[in-house]
Amino acid sequence: MSAGADPSDPQRSRSHDLPAGENSFQGDPSSGAEFAPESLRRPARPSTKAVLLIIGCLLALAIAAPVLVIAASPVLGSDGTWTHLRETVLGLYVRNSVLLAAGAGIGAGLVGLLTAWVISMYQFPGRRILEWMLLLPLAMPTYLIAYAYTDFLDFSGPLQTMIRDWTGLGAREYWFPQIRSLGGAIFLFSFVLYPYVYLLCRASFLEQSVCMLDASRTMGQSRQQTFRRVAIPLTRPALAAGIALVAMESLADYGAVDYFAVDTFTTGIYRTWFGLGSPVAAAQLSAGLLGVILLVVVFERLSRGRKRFFHTTNRQQELPRWHLSRPKKVFAFFVCFIPVVIGFLIPLGILVEAATQAGFLPSVIDSLEWAWHSVVLASLTAVLSVFFALILSYNVRLAPGAISRTAARIASLGYAIPGSVIAVGVLLILGWTDRASTAWFSHDFLLSGTLAALLFAYLTRFLTLSIGTVESGLTRISPSLDQAGRTLGAGPVGILRRIHFPLLRASTLAAALLVFVEVLKELPATLIIRPFNFDTLAVHIYQQASDERFAESAAPALLIILVGLAPVLILSRMMTSSRKNGN
Amino acid sequence: MTIRSLLFLVLPFAAGLANADEVNIYTARHYPGDDELYAKFTEHTGIEVNVVDGKGDALLERIKAEGEKSPADIFITVDAGRLWAAEQAGIFAPAESEVLIESVPAEFRHPDNLWFGITKRARLIFYSKERVDPENLSTYQNLADPEWKDRILIRSSSNVYNQSLLGMIIAEEGPEGAEQWAAGVVKNFARKPQSNDTGQLRAVAAGLGDVAVANHYYYVRLMLSDKTEDLEVIENVGIFFPNQGEGEGGAHVNISGAGMVKGAPHPEAAIKFLEFLTSPEAQEILALGNAEFPVNPNATIPEVLETFVFEENDTPSSVIGENNPEAIRIFDRVGWR
């Protein structure tokens, strides 16, 4: 929190050092009062930029430190494991990771874009309900989806057993798609992760000028052509950002791909580190994973193109929705309903069924305690991450250039790194600082095994979500507003507080909610670095599931979904009300 | 509880405020009886038990990173290979106690008392009663024979139970023999390795394959289940104790074990806790909770395990652990995912 006070304080003491020339237009205070409110009438202080930039860079380095520590360790040398990996499994890891990221990205991109378009442009029964239901899969952790579907569609699962019972066919006398496969993983990831794309594209469609779409229609373009030639190009940055999030989320996943029996970089890192006992080779694999992530980032930047869109006002107009013929209405309904069914309703049903069958209900007190722990962690991380994201993305706006942009990108690295790897990075760093602080002070000042360590890991892992959201909010605010503010004498911090923050309220809230939901679902890092006797909902699911008692994990699983629903519902309300409040 | 958790945040050094009457445990076991066990210990000694549970490998990394400042007193993990890795990392301190030496037979503890076995589990062969004549089953080695082509079900080699099994076979057959064996088993897979031990048993019952390898307690768990689909699995799947013939070495047995962490803030409480874990009372709770075999010969074996009588392989846990990295390399080379 202290970082927030810093930018302004040094300025205050330094302001009287400014050269006379820069101070001169402050001149007679009374003359300024005629065109600026009292509080805005402050001299421009160029050095605020520098201080903010330095703080931003230090912050980015600290956030990325766990990733950098791991990625830097290949320099430590080699123990021959890498040669073994290259000769045997490395090709498989690369292939599976790239295919999974690309496949899930494309799949989720298609589902998200299509549903966002249909919801935004057409009128059909059930539209208002589906608009928010489409966000529901956000509350569903991928490892739960994986468990529910593999259990359900597996050879010995209820569906195939039923098929065999009905048809009388024997074990290998019929064909059924193999759910535990790369294809199965891509399919299900597409249907759980599409809300990222949907959320961003929907917001983008809401912001698009109606006139532009109407103009396109007046000029004789069909709806399909309007979609292709006008709406899609305008949505491209949002679509690219959404797809990149999905790709990175799939790259970082451990639990779900493990269920799907797909070997990726993440499962490889785990196996190399702990099984082969080679932290060096594991770090080299992590560096390889970082390479794939870099591809994703470059893809995202390239597909955004050079286009910049600004809105000089956040006033928007309710879109007139196109009416459809009856069969098309039914079609539109199912386009939006099927993703909800696959990504949320079916797995929910399977979990409810498992929970009732198991008859295992944790005591209310226990569940409340787990839920409370989860909520406290998620809220703290959400607040901190928005705050840090504001600093970093504001830097990019204030001091555009390689340094500020690199800082923001470096702080985003952690998103595609598996939680267990980040956790070990955090442990290593805190091990050093703990030892150093004990050496300096006579008293032990230990961060390892505290909630602070957990928050550190979460921020490293999820900061990119809030940076992305806040940044895209900031870029839509026209620079002319900043210029106007500066002309009126407001400093950078003043502009942030008085102009940007009010305009960014929705973006920051969305960022906080996204981070909240992710932290709620996070498992591997929580498992490794939490304090004693500190169970969260996700941890409790793991405790049951790791011992092959999946049915018993269904009750805490339902709780996690329930707690995650609240922020998801707020998100969707925000989205729908933005139009109505615009006028 | 909540207030205390928040204290960890606002007073980061609160973790360093050692309470005399407590013992801090990092454990990779999460079985139903374990919580009851900790409560019993507190009841007997007045010592509070603080627990972090998680994956054994990751907890070991945590102890290593925390170094001498680690609050951990005891590290519990569920595989000989992992105990060996922890010992190699130098995180254990010898726990000197007459009681422990009396309770745990020599083959289940470290020669310098760095760790002690708590429970034993056997990795056995399971077969379809309908499609397999148990006369044709003999050893783990025999599973590489072409007669089992397209019939074997076993989980991924990322699982430490399989790594330890291969570690034992390396000790018996040498690395080349073990690689040939693994390659032979891969050729006989009924499907790509996937799912968990229970999943293999269910797949045998459903007819996807004829022979599976799994830990014994997953089978017992299905035996004790009240669901009809679980009991149907038991009806269709038989249990076979491998390598029981003359000179075949016995069935593969693994242990879960515990040791005192070097620099433990509460060494006395830690030793008391280890003594308690290996006492007949605790051993019976442990054994009942997860249908495992107690290591203490004075503890009663659970009723449900009375028919499980077999010759155990005596390859020392430390050798199996040492072979662990080699086992994974072999798995990688023969394409056993």
Nearest CA among A224, A185, A191 for reference residue A111: A191
* Residues whose CB is less than 8 angstroms from the CB of residue B132 and which lie 6 or more positions away in sequence, other chains included: B210, B211, B238
Tokens 């210029």 identify what position? A483
Print the SS3 string covering B226-273.
Answer: CCHHHHHHHHHEEEECCCCCCCCCCEEEEEEEEEEECCCCCHHHHHHH
Domain presence at residue B93:
yes
Residue A313 has pLDDT above 60, yes or no: no
B80-90 pLDDT per residue, tens: 888 988 998 89
**A540 interface with B at CB cutoff 8 Å:** no
- For residue A30, name the pLDDT band (cuts at 50, 70, 90): very low
Q: Cα(A509)–Cα(A501) distance, rounded to whole angstroms?
A: 11
Structure token digits, residue B105? 């037979």
Residue A153 or A360, more confident: A153
Residue A314 has pLDDT above 80, yes or no: no
Q: What percent of chain A has pLDDT over 70?
A: 84
**B156 interface with A at CB cutoff 8 Å:** yes
**Number of domains chain B is built from:** 2
Cα–Cα distances (Å) from A140 to A344, A457, B195, in that order, read 7, 21, 21
- Please answer whether residues B296 and B116 qualify as being in contact, where contact means their C-beta atoms are separated by less than 8 angstroms: no
Q: Cα(B212)–Cα(B204) distance, rounded to whole angstroms?
A: 7
Of A20-29, A278-287, A333-342, A420-429, the range with the highest mean pLDDT is A333-342
Beta bridge partners of B238: B127
Nearest CA among A382, A577, A469, A515 for reference residue A200: A469
**B42 interface with A at CB cutoff 8 Å:** no
Return the amino acid letter for B175.
Answer: P
Residues B129 and B72 in one domain: no
CA angle, A230 then A232 then A234, to 5°: 70
A181-223 pLDDT per residue, tens: 999 999 999 999 999 999 888 888 877 766 677 777 788 888 7
Residues B283 and B138 in one domain: no
pLDDT value, residue B96:
93
Residue A129 has pLDDT above 50, yes or no: yes
Domain presence at residue B287:
yes
* Residues whose CB is less than 8 angstroms from the CB of residue A297 and which lie 6 or more positions away in sequence, other chains included: A244, A409, A412
Q: Cα(B306)–Cα(A14) distance, rounded to whole angstroms?
A: 82
Is B223 exposed, middle or buried (CB count within 10 Å of its CB: 0-12, 13-18, 19+)? middle
Tokens 């010995």 identify what position? A156
Residues B186 and B326 in one domain: yes
Distance between A533 CA and the closest CA of chain B, angstroms: 5
Beta bridge partners of B254: B121
pLDDT value, residue B16:
43
- Please answer whether residues A495 and A485 qualify as being in contact, where contact means their C-beta atoms are separated by less than 8 angstroms: yes
Domain presence at residue B321:
yes
Q: Cα(A63)–Cα(A465) distance, rounded to whole angstroms?
A: 14
What angle, rounded to 10 degrees, do the helices at A402-411 and A364-398 form? Answer: 170
- Per CB-CB distance under 8 Å, the chain B contacts of A527 are 54-55, 58
- For residue A312, name the pLDDT band (cuts at 50, 70, 90): very low
Residue of B nearest to A259 (CA): B195
- CB–CB of A444 and B13 under 8 A? yes
* Residues whose CB is less than 8 angstroms from the CB of residue A474 and which lie 6 or more positions away in sequence, other chains included: A393, A394, A396, A397, A500, A504, A507
**B200 interface with A at CB cutoff 8 Å:** no
Cβ-nearest to A445 among B12, B196, B333: B12
- CB–CB of B199 and A154 under 8 A? yes
**Domains in chain A, CATH or no CATH each:** 89-150+185-307+320-344 (1.10.3720.10)
**B53 interface with A at CB cutoff 8 Å:** yes
**A180 interface with B at CB cutoff 8 Å:** yes
Nearest CA among A104, A79, A70, A64 for reference residue A288: A70
**A373 interface with B at CB cutoff 8 Å:** yes
Nearest CA among A440, A284, A410, A457 for reference residue B62: A457
Q: Cα(B51)–Cα(A543) distance, rounded to whole angstroms?
A: 13
**DSSP code per residue over A319-374:** PPPEE--HHHHHHHHHHHHHHHIIIIIHHHHHHHHHHHHHT----HHHHHHHHHHH
Residue A25 has pLDDT above 50, yes or no: no
- Please answer whether residues A493 and A422 qualify as being in contact, where contact means their C-beta atoms are separated by less than 8 angstroms: no
The pTM of the full predicted model, rounded to 2 decimals, is 0.84
Could you count the other beta carbons within 10 Å of the beta carbon of residue A24?
A: 10
Residues B129 and B101 in one domain: no
- Please answer whether residues A101 and A190 qualify as being in contact, where contact means their C-beta atoms are separated by less than 8 angstroms: no
- Please answer whether residues A401 and A266 qualify as being in contact, where contact means their C-beta atoms are separated by less than 8 angstroms: no
Q: Cα(B26)–Cα(B51) distance, rounded to whole angstroms?
A: 6
- Best to test chain A binding among B6, B87, B332, B337 (most A CBs inside 10 Å): B332
Domain containing B217 equals 122-251+316-334
Beta bridge partners of A311: A477
* pLDDT, mean of each 10-residue run, chain B (337 residues): 48 46 90 85 94 86 85 92 88 94 90 93 96 94 95 92 94 95 96 91 92 95 89 94 93 94 94 95 90 93 90 88 90 93
Residue B264 or A305, more confident: B264
A562-580 pLDDT per residue, tens: 888 888 888 878 776 765 5
* Residues whose CB is less than 8 angstroms from the CB of residue B304 and which lie 6 or more positions away in sequence, other chains included: B220, B223, B224, B291
Tokens 């993703």 identify what position? A339
pLDDT value, residue A150:
85
Between positions 68 and 127 of A, the ones with CB within 8 A of B are: 84-85, 88-89
Residue A565 region by backbone torsions, left for phi larger than 0, else alpha for psi between -120 and 50, else beta: alpha
- Please answer whether residues A13 and A40 qualify as being in contact, where contact means their C-beta atoms are separated by less than 8 angstroms: no
pLDDT value, residue A23:
38
pLDDT value, residue A318:
55
ipTM: 0.83
User: What average pLDDT does range A502-524 have in this prediction?
Assistant: 88
**B222 interface with A at CB cutoff 8 Å:** no
**A427 interface with B at CB cutoff 8 Å:** yes
Residues B185 and B245 in one domain: yes
- Please answer whether residues B336 and B159 qualify as being in contact, where contact means their C-beta atoms are separated by less than 8 angstroms: no
Nearest CA among A124, A418, A150 for reference residue A271: A418
Residue A162 has pLDDT above 70, yes or no: yes
Could you count the other beta carbons within 10 Å of the beta carbon of residue A270?
A: 22
- Please answer whether residues A223 and A322 qualify as being in contact, where contact means their C-beta atoms are separated by less than 8 angstroms: yes
pLDDT value, residue A34:
42
Cβ-nearest to B50 among A448, A532, A547: A532
Q: Phi and psi for A197 in degrees, rounded to 5? A: -70, -45
Residues B114 and B162 in one domain: no
Residue ranges with strand state E in chain B:
22-27, 48-53, 74-77, 92-93, 116-128, 152-153, 211-215, 237-240, 252-261, 293-294
User: What average pLDDT does range A151-177 have in this prediction?
Assistant: 82
Residues B25 and B102 in one domain: yes
Print the SS3 string covering A395-453.
Answer: HHHHCCCHHHHHHHHHHCHHHHCCHHHHHHHHHHHHHHHHHHHHHHCCCCCCCCCCHHH
Domain presence at residue B191:
yes
Residues B169 and B44 in one domain: no
- Please answer whether residues B272 and B258 qualify as being in contact, where contact means their C-beta atoms are separated by less than 8 angstroms: no
Domain presence at residue B310:
no
- CB–CB of A155 and B208 under 8 A? yes
Domain presence at residue B311:
no
pLDDT value, residue A476:
75
* Residues whose CB is less than 8 angstroms from the CB of residue B299 and which lie 6 or more positions away in sequence, other chains included: B280, B283, B284, B287
- For residue A7, name the pLDDT band (cuts at 50, 70, 90): very low
Residues B245 and B269 in one domain: no
Count how many residues are written for chain B: 337
Cβ-nearest to A155 among B1, B203, B328: B203
Residue A156 has pLDDT above 90, yes or no: no
pLDDT value, residue B211:
96
Q: What is the DSSP letter of B128?
A: E
A440-480 pLDDT per residue, tens: 776 666 787 889 999 999 999 999 889 988 887 887 788 88
Residues B58 and B138 in one domain: no
**CATH number (domain holding residue B47):** 3.40.190.10
Q: Cα(A130)–Cα(A120) distance, rounded to whole angstroms?
A: 11
Q: Cα(A434)–Cα(A439) distance, rounded to whole angstroms?
A: 9
pLDDT value, residue A357:
77
The long-range contacts involving A479-483, CB below 8 angstroms and separated by at least 24 positions, are: A479/A310, A480/A312, A481/A312, A482/A397
Domain presence at residue B215:
yes
Cα–Cα distances (Å) from A160 to A119, A145, B196, B203, B237, in that order, read 35, 18, 18, 12, 19
Between positions 141 and 160 of A, the ones with CB within 8 A of B are: 150, 154-156, 160
- For residue A406, name the pLDDT band (cuts at 50, 70, 90): confident
Cβ-nearest to B69 among A444, A451, A531: A444
A518-541 pLDDT per residue, tens: 999 998 889 888 888 888 988 888
* Residues whose CB is less than 8 angstroms from the CB of residue A170 and which lie 6 or more positions away in sequence, other chains included: A164, B207
Q: Cα(B275)–Cα(A247) distance, rounded to whole angstroms?
A: 50
Residues B263 and B291 in one domain: yes
Residues B276 and B148 in one domain: no
pLDDT value, residue A310:
58
